[in-house]
A and B are shown apart, each in its own frame.
Chain A
Amino acid sequence: MTKTIQEINEKIKKGQAVVVTAEEMIEIVRKKGEKQAAKEVDVVTTGTFGPMCSSGAYINIGHTKPKIKLGGGEVYINGVEVYAGFAAVDIYIGASSLPPDDPRNKIYPGEFRYGGGHVIEELVAGKDLVLTATTYGTDCYPSKELRTLINIRDLNEAVLFNPRNCYQNYNVAVNLSDRIIYTYMGTLKPKLGNANYCSAGQLSPLLNDPYYKTIGIGTRIFLGGGTGYIAWWGTQHNPGVQRSENGVPLSPAGTLAVIGDLKQMKPEWLRGTSMLGYGVTLTVGIGIPIPVLSEEIAYYTSVKDEEIYTQIVDYSKCYPQGISESLGQVNYAQLRSGKIRISNKEVPTGSLSSYVKAREIANILKEWIKQGKFLLTEPVEKLPQAESDYKFKPLKIREI
């Protein structure tokens, strides 16, 4: 039994498509089996809502009279440094950018209450933001200074473009040292005081399509409350890692680069995020539909937390020193239960990714598809596959 994306889209247009979330698919496959599930279900929706540092937005603010060339100058929005190394009035707001006068970790641990992630959230919320710039003058762009309020409704383009989101599986972070540490995985108490994880597990997009059979370049997705697309594979894409029998990677693997119109998005799905002692980031809501084209896809989308394993990594020594060493593996059912066992110690777990919001995203996307507002796309190109030799390599420092 196989289906095509065109056939599924015809059903969506007629309001006849059967759409379920990845959570609901688990029960359906358990009760009816993959064969029947593949016949009955057309689309499985997934979701994830976690901090994703490789995120940002590019905007075009329009030309002033007289004109100014921001490229090569210095530009700030609400005091946060933004990247201006493009043409005259194109700028990129990086999620982890900070105001120059933020004390960083000079007062340890730094609080990082405002940065690029917050600028993006406020821009999407429709707030007026203060843009200041200084630059050099040219014959064609004579102005050297700019101070103005900007608002998303007046911008020519505002586009979210994230080079790496949607990690397929992630480490569980612990601290073996005898002092508290502050990491991008949250605050880790000494001597295995807590274990923090970051994945929506059975709801997470790439864990429901472990071999990237339907998700590819050009796939239309839920992005930040609007529609977006997969632009490319994400940076650090690493499809060749070890996998379980069910195809699910046992450590961080695939990633996605995503793009979408910021003007359609909503601040509740793009949240400025402060990690104590680490920095600022952006929490991004992403939902990806998976067309149930075959029994095989039905099987993959029925994956449950008990079947998704990941590695426990020490963030006091191994992670910062680049030592790849696992303290053992746990599954997401154990992680979500609130405690896991590591070397005979019961360790409470904390999560960075919101399961509640991931579920909400999968349900919103399900409604969009059921109502015929969202059609599926055929990927225009595949992501680098598990059997390819595509790899995530470290940098070898060379003498200059």
Chain B
Amino acid sequence: MTESKVVLHFPPHLVDKPLIYKLSRDFDLEFNILKASVTPQEEGILVLELKGDDDNFQRAIAYLKENGVDVQALTQDINLNYELCTHCGLCVPICPVSALVKDGETDEVKFVKEKCIACELCVKVCPYNAIEVSLNA
């Protein structure tokens, strides 16, 4: 079983092709769209969480590449620097997926990395520059 977050760049001529539908039908992959920016005539960007059989996963990625889609592993890695965090909680209502939450017992802010979709909305909102973006290939 492979589970991975990937960033797909579509050249303009592929934007109207049902490629994601194929991932599900021909390769039996589960997909969850984390971020999508697909506009006709322009390059499209899709951030997906893909899950499926190892073999199918590899064949699906090969299929996308053959069709001219640029596939990259999700490289933005978000981290909460607890040295800088004051646990104020200003970021909590800004996070769209509840990856930043307040612990009901201790009142501390917790970063739930597995939920983070790297949208970066919290990065500029944090008054103490405690949310860091790093590049992880």
Contact = CB atoms under 8 A, between A and B. Distances in A.
A352 B104 CA distance: 17
A356 B124 contact: no
Interface in A247-283: 271, 273-276, 283
A196 interface: yes
Given A196-B90, A274-B127, A348-B93, 11 more contacts: A187-B94, A195-B93, A271-B128, A273-B127, A274-B129, A283-B127, A348-B92, A349-B92, A355-B87, A356-B107, A357-B87
Main secondary structure of the interface of B (DSSP, over half): loop
6 contacts: A49-B86, A193-B93, A274-B129, A283-B127, A338-B104, A352-B90
Interface string B114-132: 0000000000110111000
Given A113-B129, A356-B106, A356-B108, A194 B93 contact: yes
Given A356-B106, A356-B108, A350 B86 contact: no
B86 A276 contact: no
Interface string A184-225: 001101000111100000000000000000000000000000
A79 interface: no
Contacts of A49: 86
Interface residues of A, number: 32
A276 B124 contact: yes
B48 interface: no
Given A187-B125, A194-B94, A271 B86 contact: yes
Contacts of B88: 50, 351-354
Nearest to A280: B127
Nearest to A197: B89
Interface of B: 86-94, 102, 104, 106-108, 124-125, 127-129
B84 to A, nearest CB: 9
Given A338-B102, A356-B108, A186 B90 contact: yes
B93 to A, nearest CB: 4
A350 B125 CA distance: 11
A111 interface: yes
Interface in A276-318: 276, 283
Nearest to B102: A338
A146 B104 CA distance: 53
Nearest to A49: B86
Contacts of B90: 186-187, 196, 350-352
Contacts of A355: 87, 107
A355 B109 CA distance: 11
Interface in A335-387: 336, 338, 348-357, 359
Nearest to A198: B88
A51 B126 CA distance: 13
A273 B92 contact: no
